[in-house]
Amino acid sequence: MNKSSKAIFWVIVFFCVLIGFDQFLLRVEFKTGGMQVAQEFYLDFRQRLISLGGTSGPKSVEEAINSREVPVATQIQEEKSPRYLYADGSGQLQFADSMEDIPPQFRKDAQRMDE
């Protein structure tokens, strides 16, 4: 019984240290250096581990697109202002939310995008 109680004690100590390290990386904000990179990696890794459990994600791309919820503020903004499509100086297609966002030299060729 003595060996098993020591093993249980050290397992509990290990998990307490692990939880303490987890909370340290969640709560302390590093501004620069290698610790910031390590923290970003850990947070991403932790989020992926948590998302592996519990809920199952969409089974197809269509389900993922259909299940995405658009915030009400975004829906209202999209309804109010049309988007514009224009070609820049190098011939690349560009999108703009308003005519003011388009450089003046390209405004005459801009096309309004209707849904």
Query: Each residue of 68-115: pLDDT tens digit?
Result: 666 555 555 555 667 888 898 888 888 888 888 899 999 888 888 875
Question: Which residues constitute the domain of residue 79?
Answer: 71-113
Do 36 and 85 belong together in one domain? no
Do 82 and 56 belong together in one domain? no
Residue that is written with structure tokens 């519990």 in the block: 54
Do 80 and 32 belong together in one domain? no
For residues 39-60, b (16+ Cβ closer than 10 Å) or e, as one string?
beeeeeeeeeeeeeeeeeeeee
Q: What is the pLDDT of residue 115?
A: 59
In the sheet that 83-87 helps form, which strands lie side by side, from edge to edge?
93-96, 83-87, 111-113
Do 7 and 58 belong together in one domain? yes
Task: Examine the pLDDT at 65 and tell me if it is beyond 80.
Answer: no
pLDDT in tens, 25-47: 888 888 878 888 888 888 888 88
Do 75 and 32 belong together in one domain? no
Q: What is the pLDDT of residue 34?
A: 85
